[in-house]
Amino acid sequence: MLIDDLAELRFDNRFSDSLPADPQRMNLTRPVEGASFSWVRPKGMAAPKLVAHSAEVAALLGLSDKAVASARFTAVFAGSEVLPGMAPFAMCYGGHQFGHWAGQLGDGRAINLGQAIATDGKPWYLQLKGAGPTPYSRTADGLAVLRSSVREFLCSEAMFHLGVPTTRALSLVTTGEEVMRDMFYDGNPQWEKGAVVCRVSRSFTRFGSFELPASRGDNELLKKLADHTITECFAELVPASGVIDAGVYAAWFAEVANRTADLMVHWGRVGFVHGVMNTDNMSILGETIDYGPYGWLEDYDPDWTPNTTDAGGRRYAFGKQSQIGIWNLVRLAHALHPLVGDTAPLQAAIDGYGARYSAGWRAMMATKLGLEELRDDADLELVQDLLRLMSGHETDMTLLFRELARVPLAEVATLDPLVHLAAFEAAWHGTEEGAEEPTDEHRAACLAWMQRYAARLATEPDLSGEGADLRRRARMDAVNPRFVLRNYLAQVAIDAADEGDNSKVLELLDTLRRPYDEQPGREHLAQRRPEWARSRPGCSMLSCSS
Ligand code: AMP
Ligand code: MG
């Protein structure tokens, strides 16, 4: 049964019902100790308008089309109306930012409305981002601009459909209010349209949520939050006795490490760069969370980061994400140490991360090439040589893997550059004016690689004989997307939305629901980045300003 009126949504606010609240109710920036959250109401917006919603998230919550189309929906998800059963609050957490302990951070512009019981019977947080200041806003305004809200809304849904663990997004509204932002922190502040995204997850608890009480020696709060998190989201780890002891905490940490490793493998598979992997942006569920200056790898370049704030150190570049995963887990291990009481199991879990990531990465790269597994060092070399070739000349990662699946390689003796370089040709930059062409040597090296790849495919159990190329294509197409949220596509949609035309946001949203399908008529959303977007702000360079 779908709900037509939002007032029928049922809430079970287990987080705020069971964890200690900040007794101070005034909405003033302050340190908050001994509490997991502060009560705070969204400020309410002047003239909210619904830009887009996710049909899948609405269905998860049991909301009908009528509910979504109602004025109440827009009002609630702009923070202008608080429903009965909701109990809005902001979470308290800390974090390590760019390698340094930053102390208390908290939800500076996120307000949890409450935990709605969804159609799966479980409580899902509904969280507004950009709905006004909270006790954790520090010197900032608690608001969000349309540009960053479009990016969060589209990307979280795109990631979900790609099969990457992520927080979800129910809705995107403009607020009718303007927000002042200095996009590149260069002394050029501008008024921008304000917006609010409603994010949805089973938990918004971060690594930094545990680090903060641990840093204050507040082991009582640390334990309460850990027990709550385990009971609510890792129930399978709770023994029949119901007693959560040191062994359970250790097993839980190992599970978080595994999930984090798996997430890094996924990001590597689709070419996602988070951009700000601070410990306050690491979900305890192993979901992608806090979409800020993220970017999609276009030219394959492990050293690339979209985040201009990180351009110097490149701490959060594509190729460093798995190592940063460990770095962050070590911070979490330190925080959980008082509960585990022993470093050995924590260390074992960290070591387990390394093993799980390498095995996961190898398995993932094998599937990207249509192979059952990387069997030996020669297979690993085949993959590494391909990656080297991809960095040797600007090569679009998404297009290359998608097109590799389309090159006929079954029972081919001698390769023909016209046919067998097609995947590279499609992915290379260099056909546009002003861009550099691949050299003859590079072409020859790519063809030689294709020859090795063909030879390897011939040894694959079910990739010979009739239909082998089609079978390989089907396999590869299931893991190599045709459509990702290319940086410039998001920017083009944002520019239109800024002018009041939401059609491009909606077109992207719809296309990204089926990223692994060919979608005739939507080829323009699968194109290599055009030259004009190379150095345009928003297309390849982003800052934390949002
Ligand atoms: P981020 O790097 O976006 O994850 O943000 C780091 C911290 O700054 C978090 O505590 C955010 O809630 C806070 N923050 C970021 N932007 C704003 C803003 N406009 N208003 C208030 N707090 C913010
Ligand atoms: Mg954050």
CB 106 less than 6 A from any atom of ligand 1: yes
pLDDT at 434: 65
Give 141's contacts (C-beta < 8 A, 6+ positions apart). 109, 133, 179
CB 176 less than 6 A from any atom of ligand 1: no
Smallest-distance ligand from the CA of 107: 1
SS3 content of the chain, % helix, strand, coil (to 5): 45, 15, 40
R_g of the chain computed on alpha carbons:
24
Q: How far is CA 316 from CA 309, 489, 528, in A?
A: 10, 23, 24
CB 212 less than 6 A from any atom of ligand 1: no
CB 142 less than 6 A from any atom of ligand 1: yes
| Total count of residues recorded for the chain | 546
pLDDT at 431: 63
C-alpha dihedral sign at 15, 17, 23, 26: positive
Smallest-distance ligand from the CA of 181: 1
Distance CA 367, CA 386 (A): 14
Question: Helices (DSSP H) in 369-414: which residue ranges?
Answer: 377-392, 397-404
If one residue of 37, 137, 182, 212 were mutated to test the ligand 1 pocket, choosing by the most ligand atoms within 8 A of its CB, it would be 137
Exposed/middle/buried for residue 484 (C-beta within 10 Å: 0-12, 13-18, 19+): buried
Distance CA 522, CA 508 (A): 10
Strands 94-97 and 272-273, how do they pair?
A: unpaired
Phi/psi-derived region of residue 3, left when phi > 0, alpha when psi is between -120 and 50, beta in every other case: beta
Smallest-distance ligand from the CA of 138: 1
CB 290 less than 6 A from any atom of ligand 1: yes
pLDDT at 232: 98
CB 141 less than 6 A from any atom of ligand 1: yes
Identity of residue 253: F
Q: How far is the CA of 106 from the centre of ligand 2 (A)?
A: 8
DSSP letter at 286?
A: S
pLDDT at 267: 98
Residue nearest to atom 18 of ligand 1 (CA): 142
Q: How far is CA 290 from the centre of its chain?
A: 7
Among 112, 113, 167, residue whose Cα is nearest residue 291 = 167
If one residue of 27, 43, 136 were mutated to test the ligand 1 pocket, choosing by the most ligand atoms within 8 A of its CB, it would be 136
Q: How far is the CA of 8 from the centre of ligand 2 (A)?
A: 31
Q: Which of 102-127 are b and which e, b meaning 16 or more Cβ less than 10 Å from the residue's Cβ? A: eebbbbbbbbbbbbbbbeeeebbbbb
Identity of residue 428: W
Q: Which residues pair with 275 in a beta bridge?
A: none
Residue nearest to atom 6 of ligand 1 (CA): 105
Q: How far is the CA of 109 from the centre of ligand 1 (A)?
A: 6
Cβ neighbours around 456 below 10 Å, total: 18
pLDDT at 432: 66
Given the structure tokens 């701490």, which residue do they identify?
Answer: 315
Q: How far is the CA of 313 from the centre of ligand 2 (A)?
A: 19
CB 103 less than 6 A from any atom of ligand 1: no
Q: How far is the CA of 290 from the centre of ligand 2 (A)?
A: 5
* Whether 203 contacts 285, CB under 8 Å: yes
Q: How far is the CA of 136 from the centre of ligand 1 (A)?
A: 9
CB 251 less than 6 A from any atom of ligand 1: no
What's the CA angle centered on 498, arms 305 and 70, to 5 degrees?
Answer: 110
Query: How does pLDDT run along the chain (546 residues), one tens digit per residue?
Result: 899 999 999 999 999 999 999 999 999 999 999 999 999 999 999 999 999 999 999 999 999 999 999 999 999 999 999 999 999 999 999 999 999 999 999 999 999 999 999 999 999 999 999 999 999 999 999 999 999 999 999 999 999 999 999 999 999 999 999 999 988 888 889 999 999 999 999 999 999 999 999 999 999 999 999 999 999 999 999 999 999 999 999 999 999 999 999 999 999 999 999 999 999 999 999 999 999 999 999 999 999 999 999 988 999 999 999 999 999 999 999 999 999 999 999 999 999 999 999 999 999 999 999 999 999 999 999 999 999 999 999 999 999 999 999 999 998 888 999 999 999 999 998 766 667 889 999 999 999 999 999 999 999 998 988 899 999 999 999 999 999 999 999 999 999 999 999 999 999 999 999 999 999 999 999 999 998 888 888 887 888 888
Distance CA 167, CA 536 (A): 28
Distance CA 353, CA 342 (A): 18
* Whether 42 contacts 79, CB under 8 Å: yes
Distance CA 167, CA 163 (A): 12
Q: What are the structure tokens assigned to 476, written together?
A: 């590869």
Helix (H) or strand (E) holding 171: strand 168-181
Q: How far is the CA of 181 from the centre of ligand 1 (A)?
A: 13
Q: How far is CA 275 from the centre of its chain?
A: 10
Given the structure tokens 């159609």, which residue do they identify?
Answer: 119
**DSSP string covering 76-119:** HTTTS---TT---EEE--EEEETTEEEEE---SSEEEEEEEE-T
Closest ligand 1 atom to residue 107 Cα is 12
What's the CA angle centered on 212, arms 207 and 215, to 5 degrees?
Answer: 120
CB 87 less than 6 A from any atom of ligand 1: no
If one residue of 32, 40, 109, 111 were mutated to test the ligand 1 pocket, choosing by the most ligand atoms within 8 A of its CB, it would be 109
If one residue of 280, 289, 328, 546 were mutated to test the ligand 1 pocket, choosing by the most ligand atoms within 8 A of its CB, it would be 280
CB 180 less than 6 A from any atom of ligand 1: no
pLDDT at 543: 83
Identity of residue 514: R
Question: Helices (DSSP H) in 102-170: which residue ranges?
Answer: 146-162
CB 91 less than 6 A from any atom of ligand 1: no
Active site members:
280
HSE-CB of 448 using CA atoms within 13 angstroms: 8
C-alpha dihedral sign at 458, 463, 465, 471: negative
CB 492 less than 6 A from any atom of ligand 1: no
Q: What are the structure tokens assigned to 66, written together?
A: 């009528």
Residue nearest to atom 14 of ligand 1 (CA): 108
Q: How far is the CA of 36 from the centre of ligand 2 (A)?
A: 16
Smallest-distance ligand from the CA of 307: 1
Residue 148, classed as helix, strand or coil, is: helix
Distance CA 15, CA 91 (A): 10
Cα dihedral 347, 34, 284, 337, rounded to 10, equals 10
